[in-house]
Chain A
Amino acid sequence: MPATQSRVNDFVLKIATVNGTGSASANSLVMKALFRMGIPVTGKNLFPSNIQGLPTWYEIRANKDGFMSRSRRVDLTVAMNAQTYSKDLKEVSPGGFLVYDSTWPRSHTLARDDITILGVPLSKLCNEHFSVARVRILMKNVAYVGVLAALLDIDLEVVQALLEETFAAKPKLVESNLEAIMLGYNYATENFTCPLPVRAQKMGDNAGKILIDGNAAAGLGFVYAGATVGAWYPITPSTSLMDNFKIFCEMFRTDEATGEKKYCIVQAEDELAAAGMVLGANWVGARAFTPTSGPGISLMSEFIGFAYYAEIPSVFVDVQRVGPSTGMPTRTQQCDVLLCAYASHGDTRHPLLLPADPSDCFQMAVQAFDLAERLQTPVFMLTDLDIGMNDWMVPELKWDDSYRPDRGKVLSSDEVDALDKFVRYTDFDGDGIPYRTLPGVNPKGAYFVRGSGHNRQGGYTEDSLEYQDVMDRLLVKWETAKTLVPKAVLTPAGKKTRLGIIAYGSSHAAVVEASVRLAEHGIHADYLRLRAFPFGVEVEEFLASHDTIFVVEQNRDAQMKSLLMLETQINASKLVSILHYNGMPLPSDCIVDAIGKHIASEVAA
């Protein structure tokens, strides 16, 4: 047996299956069991753009130190898909383990002498034990949970409790699932030395933590934000956001007596229409949003420019996936930063919110509406597939019951009556934000929304000065936006340094881990996590006070670096890009390697 380092509560488990075989619930069972043993875990679902029959992987990282990013190592692989067996075999880190279904013989060319290969006849065990064909397929996946429980020393009582909760309504299923688990468990304990040096050990109960994906958290956030209208067109990877909004609305927004719904979800004919619906609903004073992905933003851009110029509050969520064009719909990237920042023709600029995890998604869904209504402009929440569709361990979501939505400068009927005349696009307060009225309130407050040239009163214009007057006021509003968006968060290095790292969104977890690893190697860097665009003064200060700033992002063209160069006073030569854009979630070692290499080359020069 090859030498294996002991890895207790610090390992990566990768499960290779075929989609549509029910492996998702088996994988979630393993993940939740580790979670309940108090071990910090994250789960990454690597799936195809397909319904049934193609390879899919689930990666669970257990890490006692709480590092949540992806790691490139693989300590234990469960290879349930013969189609990807050779690839899965190659990926196992030296000293690691590979479990495969030994019901069928494997080619002798598929061998490695630096890892341990463990064959379990899962199909044979299940075929002998279960009689129905479909049940055999499903139970084969449950049986590997039993194998893993034995190999990794996962608490069987925890597994049983989870099954009982999952199938509370169908106790018979608890029984059959447990039988399958014991088939795998017993085979492993009888044939292998269990547990492996790579294993789990109870370290608490993860009290105060939950497992959630970003789309669920954002959907919940929009319920708490008081959004009543959701308009959307289904697109991976944003679809489950609206699915979740609907689930939570059914739960919390259905009148118990009448069954009436205090929400309206409209599945639009396309993204163009979804954007139009969001504008229409916000115009009449309902909080309305749309979740989409990059291709949807391309289609919505016409209306986004309209909303910017006509100053209609609106919230757009871009759960980014790999572009350009259709790209890879089930892979992750941060490739729509520039698209969203400047969406639409003409001079336009839009606030962006940049959540780093599901917890941020929940909070920023609420902030997005407060900002959109305060600023009367489209606001984007830019998440990505990694945040949106993967399982994250985050602190329990908290809600402050004293929160009241900021509806911005909306005049009531009485306030309109007190005016000589209502004018829509005049800056009375010096913050660049005009007053608006809602339809159905007071005829004196009526005005005509238009995307064509208009003056500060709201009237149509082709007059140069009147046009420019409004465009210049929108710049004043942009300055106000800088003071309202969430500030960037500074994590200072342990030692005084002139090195900086800037990152945002789902790169955050990888940077946190990389910073610790780098410090162990004597490389200290201050870390600034961007949470929004436009950039506040704190970003300028950070840029000014560091000599070399690494900008970590998940796209090919260094979009955030470009945005920093365009929108701040930075001397571009100070910025060094670290780019990861292969569609997989960013692993921390990618950052450690890149910064290490850069420093070494500086020293050599």
Chain B
Amino acid sequence: MTYIAKPKIDLPGQQRNAIGLLKRDYEGSLSTLCAGCGHDSITAAIVQALWEMAIEPHKLIKLSGIGCSSKTPAYFVHGAHGFNSVHGRMPSVAAGAHAGHRDLVCIGVSGDGDSLSIGFGQFGHAIRRNLNMLYLIENNGVYGLTKGQFSASADPGSKAKKGEVNHMQSINPVATAIAMGASFVGRSFSGDRQQLVALIKAGIAHKGAALLDVISPCVTFNDHAGSTKSYAYTREHLHHISETGFVPPATEITAEYAAGDSVRVTMHDGSSIVLKKADPDYDPTNRSKTLRYLEKHRDKGEIATGLLFIDDDLPDMHTIAGTSKKPLRDFAYAELNPGSAALEKLQRSMR
């Protein structure tokens, strides 16, 4: 991971967002990933989503673990503090950061190696706590930095670059998260910019853990015939279960959807998600139906994408804990310290 500053060029006709920032204000340093890496498309989608949402760069924190995916927080929003932690441990750092400052927008970028093997425990507990963050898994089924070993998300029957076939079952982060009680679960593809941007925005607006599993092909080690995480295979087997539209708070919904076809989920911050359903029997607010639906498509060899499940009413970590609305780190010491008189009084019971 070399550190290359991205040149800032003023192009004519660039649009400014609601807080007057250009898209380039949401960019980071130059990516050092392989040319064509799916991760770079996800980075671009994050930039687009944050710019559209007009999030103040310094009100964002971006965290990651270890691996190719975990390098990417350096490539977006240079004005945000970043934390490239240790392997599989991003969720715990995010939990601590969120405990200390609940108002910062938190994006955690992880990979299938980082979240489904060494970090499987922390991944599960971020979901269980319903930690208010966007949890992105850039899923390519392979260990890139160590040159091509299968990851835990490699599908049975999938072939490695050198010909070895995986015979173990794959860990499916989406089904796992839904079964564990997740409040927001989506799946997308790095090559599907429009869907990805909408899901990222919805995930950020969601108050709770928003898991996005993004199939992100590894051009160097897992983009060959026989791989089930290649660009070609993913495109061929992709199944949009819905078209996802994100509507910011206080915006009139202008798009028209045929009745019975669309679902609108209003979130606690006033924004809403409009899903234009491709399948009439799909219901993203019903946990058991969603799981059945996903399994049905898996049986058919399809990769169902879109917002798969949402329950915006599940309490997040701070709601459960009853923590003050004011971020803890903003309390002045005088507001935290009981003082000498209280200490003296307390000690009367210790005699």
B300 sits at the interface (CB 8 A): no
Q: Is A483 an interface residue (CB 8 A)?
A: no
Q: How far is the CA of A279 from the CA of B328 in the complex (A)?
A: 15
Q: B93 touching A283 by the CB < 8 A rule?
A: yes
- Cβ of B7 under 8 Å from chain A: no
Measured between alpha carbons, how far is A268 from B343 in the docked complex, in Å?
30
Nearest-neighbour CB distance to chain B for A284, whole angstroms, equals: 4
Contact among B82, B122, B350 with A447 in the assembled complex (CB-CB below 8 Å): B82
Cα distance A279–B63 in the bound complex, in angstroms: 12
Question: A194 an interface residue at 8 Å Cβ cutoff?
Answer: no
Question: CB of A430 within 8 A of chain B?
Answer: no
Stretch in B33-41, B218-226, B334-342 touching the partner: B334-342
Partner among A209, A258, A276, A437 whose Cβ is within 8 Å of the Cβ of B85: A276
Q: Does B96 contact A (CB under 8 A)?
A: yes
Chain B proximity of A395: nearest CB distance (Å): 10
| Chain A residues, CB < 8 A from B99 | 229, 231, 264, 266, 277, 280-281, 286, 288
By beta carbon, the residue of chain B nearest A260 is: B324
Inter-subunit contact A439/B347 (CB<8 Å): no
Q: A226-B336, A443-B57 are in contact. Are A261 and B329 (CB under 8 A)?
A: no
Q: Cβ of B121 and Cβ of A270 under 8 Å apart? A: yes
Tell whether B239 is near chain A: CB-to-CB under 8 Å: no
C-alpha spacing A285/B81, complex, angstroms:
12
Decide: A261 and B323 in contact? CB cutoff 8 A.
Answer: yes
Which chain B positions have C-beta within 8 A of A461?
3
Selected interface stretch from A45-53, A63-71, A396-404, A592-600? A396-404
- For A273, give its contact among B122, B333, B338 (CB under 8 Å): B122
Closest CB in chain A relative to B5 CB, distance in Å: 9
B340 touches which of A268, A282, A398 (Cβ 8 Å): A398
Residues of A239-265 contacting chain B, CB below 8 A: 251-253, 255, 258-265
Q: Are A452 and B95 in contact (CB under 8 A)?
A: no
Tell me the minimal C-beta distance from B59 to chain A in angstroms: 6
Find residues 294-327 in chain A having any chain B CB closer than 8 Å to their own CB: 302-303, 306
Binds A, one of B45-53, B71-79, B135-143, B150-158: B71-79
- Which chain B residues border A452 with CB–CB below 8 Å? 1, 84
- Give the distance in Å from the alpha carbon of A264 to the alpha carbon of B322 in the complex: 8
User: Which of B's residues lie within 8 Å of A, judged by CB?
Assistant: 1-3, 56-59, 61, 63, 73-74, 78-86, 89, 91-101, 103-104, 121-122, 124-125, 129, 317-318, 321-325, 328-329, 331, 333, 335-340, 342-344, 346-347, 350-351
In the complex, besides A212-B350, A449-B83, 17 extra interface pairs with C-beta distance below 8 angstroms are A220-B346, A223-B336, A260-B325, A266-B95, A276-B96, A277-B99, A279-B93, A280-B93, A286-B100, A302-B86, A399-B343, A400-B340, A439-B81, A440-B61, A443-B57, A446-B81, A451-B86
What are 22 A-B pairs with beta-carbon distances under 8 A?
Answer: A211-B351, A228-B329, A231-B99, A262-B324, A262-B328, A265-B321, A269-B122, A273-B89, A276-B92, A277-B92, A283-B97, A284-B61, A284-B96, A401-B339, A401-B340, A440-B58, A440-B81, A440-B101, A446-B81, A447-B81, A460-B74, A461-B3
